[in-house]
Amino acid sequence: MKLIYCEKCGDVISMRFEERSCFCGASKGRYLDSLNAEYSGPAKPLGFHNTHFKSALKNQPEKSWGVEFTAFVIEKDCLTFKKKENK
């Protein structure tokens, strides 16, 4: 799962096929196809390990802190999640 974090307003949004923006509108992004996405603005690309995330959701406890899953900041030069250059 691909997401962006806006450094201006602190909002985190997940990518969809239609372009989405953060609360302040400075950062935007969208999926181009089932694998590739693009984003713009003062955003940092984030990812969830899909299998770990789905397992954590499935195993949500009744009480306690919950189930951890893997999330990460995506590399700057990612082939499947590119920063869209302003032209």
Residues near 50 by Cβ (< 8 Å), separated by ≥ 6? Answer: 1
d(CA 78, CA 85): 14
Q: What is the pLDDT of residue 86?
A: 63
This prediction's pTM: 0.87
- What are the tens digits of pLDDT across the range 67-84? 999 999 999 999 999 999
User: Pick from 47, 70, 69: which is nearest to 57 by CA?
Assistant: 69
Is it the case that residue 21 has pLDDT exceeding 60? yes
| Domain positions in the chain | 2-83
